[in-house]
Chain A
């Protein structure tokens, strides 16, 4: 009798425990994930960050003087808001690195190496944005919470070289024609195009480190060009995310729906005007009251900025501010600029001037202008390729071509030191310009020791601290 009771008690207890376990099953969200949904999300979320208010609009687009502010001018005066740098950092790491690391693992477990390669390419692209902006960043230990709660910051050199290795591996892994991928809202599942994008990123990074480590850069160029032109983006191809109608609108379009804080910078307007550049009327709008494109000087005090008049100054063009405007990640234009400079530096074969002309022409085409318009433009003395001062030629034209791509333009301006920009009128950096983003202040409390080590190595955590790649 006693035994039966005991048995009954045990059974009862066991069933209670099972019941408790059943109750705690989360009915709200799945516990497993499909790779295509994850890929779509990773692309959307991170391109939003890349093109969004914190990395671009209130940061790199102002620093590189594409845009300026007519209201709330603090950001344009290099008074960086605390939230902005935190958002960029948090989004890129917690949404980007983590989503794509998970996708790479899924690629392995589902035996679809294309998912894995695409995940690595996107993750590398994010890491590249991060190191371009911040310098030393957690890389090798990033996104592995089970092993590293406080990831070590790797030097920028290690990040760039690590990315080159990863991208090389991804290119090798990609297999067109098998293992279809879904949910690819960037390149429509075109594996060949992914390979070209990855190679483009390799060239971008290789050139970035050329001032520091010419040999590594050369090796990358040799390898990529050896694979022939099919390994690179074909003429006029653009890697971009095409935004959709609200609520999936372009972050700039979303901003313009309710805010009126930004204008096109006087610096780029003046340059475009000086060169009679037909892209001017595409890059800028005509203000309501004046019928003349007028840019706003960067970094004015709020009162003087506002005094210029909201309807007397130009915003960026509709190509950039429309709801469905695309966000550009990489382009044939940029690729040819890279190849032009590489040729100039002896990193590849080829004629720098020809490649330079191709790049400028591609930019025109990218904005719907005819190739022959570019031809006349290129003949101008101010545009003509100058091999002696290639940094000026490439720097200025690349700057004009990358309009809108704030982070890349900001980085290339730092590397080439062209165009020569005047610091914000009422800048808060004592007449200097920002050369990086500050680390988010939360890193001090959450990853203090590693943060301190990075700052000790790289230099004070200031906007004006030069990064490793930025030799000159």
Chain B
């Protein structure tokens, strides 16, 4: 002990000794960015090896006391730390290099705050503007597909429509599982209004113009997003838009032009041997049963061998009955997207400005469909006073469509329904003139359908959306370590749809007209105080505190003239019957306070804590306040233990725990009585079919995440590993209950769902030569395991219904993976063999069973890029493995006999068995040439179902092909139409070329970039026939049910970007 005391006593003397060698001087200077010579306010200047430090002021100027022998350590996020010996210089101007290595990477985090990636205790992944703009996806969500670990995108059908995005699996049993979109700090709406109206309207985020995006950060779960509160439990997608600062060119003008062409990627594989009819017979008279099976919309008719049969176009004359193999294919057109944009921007000492205009015209693959969009953006920053900055961002979007493609398989508006219930002999080109002189429709069938061109040209759905979103931010630097921010933002849109059904349309002889109008808005006001302070040589602190008020409004106005009085006039006044009208209005408000703190130690160890409290109007007063914290930390081992080397460039571990609370929709507490259409003079009120809950509690999601980041061999191998687990409790479920309770649904605070997963991102640079050739490979892999732990506390509920079609339900079932496909299956014996009925058809198990899960086991992607001088070539392959889907196209097409899969057994040539009919029984014959007793007709389309009788004998009952396929593929038996939805897709190929500077300089142009982009090129692996396994029908949770999808498209486009 004594020795220690003595040593301590010596310390001051030693320090004095050291100081005596150097002279203390005052050093001052300016910190700038070497890249653009901009000054860097807030840069931290420290004397290396001491606790002594300061920060650059608003003009980037600094002054510090130091010794001539000292070294200044200058750092700022986004820049490489510089070490500059003081020497005898009194003025030391410092130019910082922009950070480009993995270690110095800066990412945008919650509330738009840029942070060094190494300080974060959770996984964040970013996409830069180039990746987004060049991919030219018209729906922004699709651009994220395959590029980010753990992000699952389900694509649109056709080339218009909605896409669904989910990060790290579904955390909410019933609620929205899509992430929150934040644009420049302000939430923007991504809802899909009008689900189930027969049109797949695009989700709202598709309004954002990709050219305006500077970067997208994906915050994958509560750990990263806790500060955003309620809506962040499914992650956050942070979009940062371009500002005048991003404009690098001389004149500041950028022109972008793009043309993309879309063709059908996958069409059902149709048979071209048998035509319309039933029982092998067909003859057309009036198309609604007047002739021989001419009302039948199936292809179990005669062979299309040129035999003479009256057909729809022949006026009763018998004409050759021949196939038209491309009849469906030829109906689809080449869709295209033309996109032209202009941006002007620049920055000066006082102002950064950027204006952009973009026009997108999209034409669908279905005739007479398309949407066009005009986007105007203005982004400005005004440095009003030395310490006061005002930034504004305004975006106005007008999208309009005369007609959008019909979905959901409705007769009045879906052509895919008609093509899967079809006569394979129908020459679709003969239907092009779809109207008879008397105004009625001209078609191959009049019992169920209107002419497909009639559907496209007469029964249209138009949409007009006017949207404004923007924000204004006032930022005041109270002192060099304290900043105050006030931000106000809004997102407002009006969306009007007009549904027309023409007079004489099959099923609606008087037509109808509907107007559906929405007004949606969200406004946010936010105040924050941000303090950054170097506490000592070792510690620095970054604290933020603030509050937010959010207001949401929603209004819907729906009016329908159910039967038109006069044809071709589409107004609500033109109605035979009283109008059907509904209106709905809702409001919601959330008050929040929040805070966060980051404590950094020697720039290699970081501790982050956040806390937030929300008060939501949607919850009962006694439960409407909820608090949730988070904590995470990161430790850069390679710096802490000084083991950084060329071989090991980075080694970082991170981890954290977070909680997020979630409220619900408005008006979920008190039961109300809905109106029904009055019965004559009697108004009708009914008891709601939803039983609400007056003591609702907020939903709580807790999440734990740990990760590892490493860089090897000069960062040519980059690894990022994440393991996470999240648990959502007290879920607010509007659960289906037995109708015998008197209600169809009950709102409850129940349900617990657990998600566990790993994410791996591996970046490789196998080749990087001095000549400039570089090959990068980015691999991502994500595996998510979900489990529904509990539904209701009492244990009554075993399943929550996410979606359904017929007998088939998509469930969240207790103890199961999320998204179980629950339906009717074959009845099987103890040896798992299918049991057949006495009539030779497969028996159906009266107990429904789980036939698969739509949620994939894992997803992944590989992105290769090759760059050489001005050229870059990239291709993306991505995959989803281990999910299932129920295919309505396959089930219907096999039932109706239009698919090629219904050929086996249909005749001798296709392996059919010979038999004759005796009463209701089929008797098999030994050979096709055998004759039947009594001269009965010999049939050649016999098939024996591969199964066993209940007493274990091999089935030997012959069924006619039509009976066979109808027995196996029908609405009572789901199992036969459930397929493995796994796939590997060649998602994207991109070839870019930037013209050499020597050339552009001669033309007095800054840069010219040309890119060829091809998307959705094809499948390397696919198990489900006839359809695309990755199609969204809406953005809800009831996925995995394919119902007569519009074919997805393959697109090829060229993009030209010129800046002056």
Binds B, one of A241-249, A367-375, A387-395: A241-249
Binds B, one of A166-174, A196-204, A269-277, A440-448: A440-448
B737 x A145 contact (CB < 8 A)? yes
A32 close to chain B: CB less than 8 A: yes
B666 close to chain A: CB less than 8 A: yes
> Could you tell me the distance between the alpha carbons of A20 and B625 in the complex, rounded to whole angstroms?
11
The answer to whether A149 and B839 touch (CB under 8 A), given A44-B684, A142-B742, is: no
The answer to whether A23 and B589 touch (CB under 8 A), given A31-B670, A71-B295, A443-B738, is: yes
A28 x B585 contact (CB < 8 A)? yes
A70 close to chain B: CB less than 8 A: yes
A381 close to chain B: CB less than 8 A: no
- Determine the chain B residues whose CB is within 8 A of the CB of A468 once the complex forms: none
**Residue of A90, A98, A142, A183 touching B687 (CB-CB under 8 A):** A98
- Determine the chain A residues whose CB is within 8 A of the CB of B673 once the complex forms: 29-33, 38
- Determine the chain A residues whose CB is within 8 A of the CB of B682 once the complex forms: 36-37, 40, 183, 185
**Residue of B683, B687, B848 touching A445 (CB-CB under 8 A):** B848
The answer to whether A28 and B667 touch (CB under 8 A), given A38-B686, A247-B580, is: yes
A17 close to chain B: CB less than 8 A: yes
- Determine the chain A residues whose CB is within 8 A of the CB of B585 once the complex forms: 27-28
A309 close to chain B: CB less than 8 A: yes
B interface residues, tally (CB under 8 Å): 92
- Determine the chain B residues whose CB is within 8 A of the CB of A26 once the complex forms: 666-667, 670, 672
B742 x A101 contact (CB < 8 A)? yes
Nearest chain A CB to B613's CB is how many angstroms away? 12
A301 close to chain B: CB less than 8 A: yes
B28 close to chain A: CB less than 8 A: no
B289 x A309 contact (CB < 8 A)? yes
A41 x B684 contact (CB < 8 A)? yes
- Determine the chain B residues whose CB is within 8 A of the CB of A462 once the complex forms: 846
> Could you tell me the distance between the alpha carbons of A462 and B797 in the complex, rounded to whole angstroms?
25
- Determine the chain B residues whose CB is within 8 A of the CB of A421 once the complex forms: none
> Could you tell me the distance between the alpha carbons of A258 and B288 in the complex, rounded to whole angstroms?
13
Q: Which residue of B lies closest to A148 (CB)?
A: B741
B332 close to chain A: CB less than 8 A: no
> Could you tell me the distance between the alpha carbons of A461 and B744 in the complex, rounded to whole angstroms?
22
Nearest chain B CB to A168's CB is how many angstroms away? 23
B679 x A40 contact (CB < 8 A)? yes
> Could you tell me the distance between the alpha carbons of A417 and B891 in the complex, rounded to whole angstroms?
39
- Determine the chain B residues whose CB is within 8 A of the CB of A28 once the complex forms: 583-586, 667, 672
A441 x B839 contact (CB < 8 A)? no
> Could you tell me the distance between the alpha carbons of A40 and B682 in the complex, rounded to whole angstroms?
7
Nearest chain A CB to B940's CB is how many angstroms away? 18
- Determine the chain B residues whose CB is within 8 A of the CB of A145 once the complex forms: 691, 737, 741-743, 746
A247 x B680 contact (CB < 8 A)? no
B687 x A102 contact (CB < 8 A)? yes
> Could you tell me the distance between the alpha carbons of A325 and B970 in the complex, rounded to whole angstroms?
35
Give the one of A82, A102, A150, A446 with max B CB within 10 A: A446
B195 close to chain A: CB less than 8 A: no
Q: Which residue of B lies closest to A313 (CB)?
A: B289
The answer to whether A307 and B846 touch (CB under 8 A), given A21-B617, A94-B739, A98-B743, is: no
A441 x B281 contact (CB < 8 A)? no
Please provide the chain A residues from 1 to 45 with a CB less than 8 Å away from any CB of chain B in the complex.
Answer: 16-17, 19-21, 23-34, 36-38, 40-42, 44-45
**Residue of B293, B584, B667 touching A24 (CB-CB under 8 A):** B667
B9 close to chain A: CB less than 8 A: no
B798 close to chain A: CB less than 8 A: yes
The answer to whether A94 and B289 touch (CB under 8 A), given A40-B682, A149-B794, A446-B738, is: no
- Determine the chain A residues whose CB is within 8 A of the CB of B93 once the complex forms: none
The answer to whether A37 and B684 touch (CB under 8 A), given A90-B739, A149-B741, A247-B580, is: yes
- Determine the chain B residues whose CB is within 8 A of the CB of A419 once the complex forms: none
> Could you tell me the distance between the alpha carbons of A259 and B448 in the complex, rounded to whole angstroms?
9
A302 close to chain B: CB less than 8 A: yes
A31 x B671 contact (CB < 8 A)? yes
B824 x A90 contact (CB < 8 A)? no
A135 close to chain B: CB less than 8 A: no
A45 x B838 contact (CB < 8 A)? no
A interface residues, tally (CB under 8 Å): 86
A138 close to chain B: CB less than 8 A: yes
B689 close to chain A: CB less than 8 A: yes
Please provide the chain B residues from 781 to 825 with a CB less than 8 Å away from any CB of chain A in the complex.
Answer: 792, 794, 796-799, 801, 806-807, 809, 811, 813, 822, 824
The answer to whether A17 and B687 touch (CB under 8 A), given A29-B672, A445-B822, is: no
A81 close to chain B: CB less than 8 A: yes
B672 x A30 contact (CB < 8 A)? yes
**Residue of A45, A81, A303, A444 touching B296 (CB-CB under 8 A):** A303
Cβ contacts B386-422/A at 8 Å (1 or 0 each): 0000000000000000000000000000000000000
Nearest chain B CB to A405's CB is how many angstroms away? 21
> Could you tell me the distance between the alpha carbons of A372 and B826 in the complex, rounded to whole angstroms?
59
Nearest chain B CB to A330's CB is how many angstroms away? 20
Please provide the chain A residues from 300 to 333 with a CB less than 8 Å away from any CB of chain B in the complex.
Answer: 301-304, 306-307, 309-311
- Determine the chain A residues whose CB is within 8 A of the CB of B621 once the complex forms: 17, 20-21
Cβ contacts A426-447/B at 8 Å (1 or 0 each): 1000100000000001111111
A460 close to chain B: CB less than 8 A: yes
**Residue of B288, B508, B684, B737 touching A310 (CB-CB under 8 A):** B288
Please provide the chain A residues from 231 to 259 with a CB less than 8 Å away from any CB of chain B in the complex.
Answer: 244-248, 257-259
Cβ contacts B631-669/A at 8 Å (1 or 0 each): 000000000000000000000000000000000001101
B97 close to chain A: CB less than 8 A: no
Give the one of B562, B744, B794, B971 with max A CB within 10 A: B744
- Determine the chain A residues whose CB is within 8 A of the CB of B290 once the complex forms: 309-311
B589 x A247 contact (CB < 8 A)? no
B742 x A93 contact (CB < 8 A)? yes
**Residue of A40, A310, A442, A460 touching B736 (CB-CB under 8 A):** A442
A95 close to chain B: CB less than 8 A: yes
B742 x A426 contact (CB < 8 A)? no
The answer to whether A20 and B677 touch (CB under 8 A), given A310-B295, A443-B738, A447-B738, is: no
Q: Which residue of A lies closest to B278 (CB)?
A: A303
- Determine the chain B residues whose CB is within 8 A of the CB of A97 once the complex forms: 740, 742
> Could you tell me the distance between the alpha carbons of A445 and B794 in the complex, rounded to whole angstroms?
16
Nearest chain A CB to B827's CB is how many angstroms away? 12
> Could you tell me the distance between the alpha carbons of A70 and B676 in the complex, rounded to whole angstroms?
34
B920 close to chain A: CB less than 8 A: yes
A132 close to chain B: CB less than 8 A: no
Q: Which residue of A lies closest to B823 (CB)?
A: A441
B589 x A20 contact (CB < 8 A)? yes
- Determine the chain A residues whose CB is within 8 A of the CB of B926 once the complex forms: none
A445 x B798 contact (CB < 8 A)? yes
Q: Which residue of B lies closest to A103 (CB)?
A: B687
The answer to whether A307 and B293 touch (CB under 8 A), given A30-B685, A31-B670, A149-B792, is: yes
- Determine the chain A residues whose CB is within 8 A of the CB of B508 once the complex forms: 258
The answer to whether A45 and B676 touch (CB under 8 A), given A20-B589, A40-B682, A442-B736, is: yes
- Determine the chain B residues whose CB is within 8 A of the CB of A59 once the complex forms: none
The answer to whether A248 and B972 touch (CB under 8 A), given A23-B588, A101-B742, A302-B296, is: no
Q: List 27 A-B contacts (CB under 8 A).
A: A16-B615, A17-B624, A19-B617, A20-B615, A20-B621, A29-B673, A33-B673, A36-B682, A81-B971, A94-B689, A95-B686, A97-B740, A138-B738, A143-B741, A144-B741, A149-B737, A257-B509, A260-B447, A301-B278, A303-B277, A306-B278, A307-B292, A310-B289, A430-B839, A445-B799, A445-B801, A446-B737
**Residue positions of A touching B, CB distance < 8 A:** 16-17, 19-21, 23-34, 36-38, 40-42, 44-45, 70-71, 74, 79, 81-83, 89-90, 93-95, 97-99, 101-102, 137-138, 141-145, 148-151, 183, 185, 244-248, 257-260, 301-304, 306-307, 309-311, 426, 430, 441-448, 460-462
Additional 8 contacts, C-beta under 8 A, given A32-B673, A44-B684, A94-B742? A24-B618, A44-B679, A98-B687, A144-B741, A247-B562, A247-B577, A445-B798, A462-B846
Closest 8 CB pairs of A and B: A303-B278, A98-B742, A143-B742, A29-B672, A41-B684, A138-B740, A310-B289, A447-B738
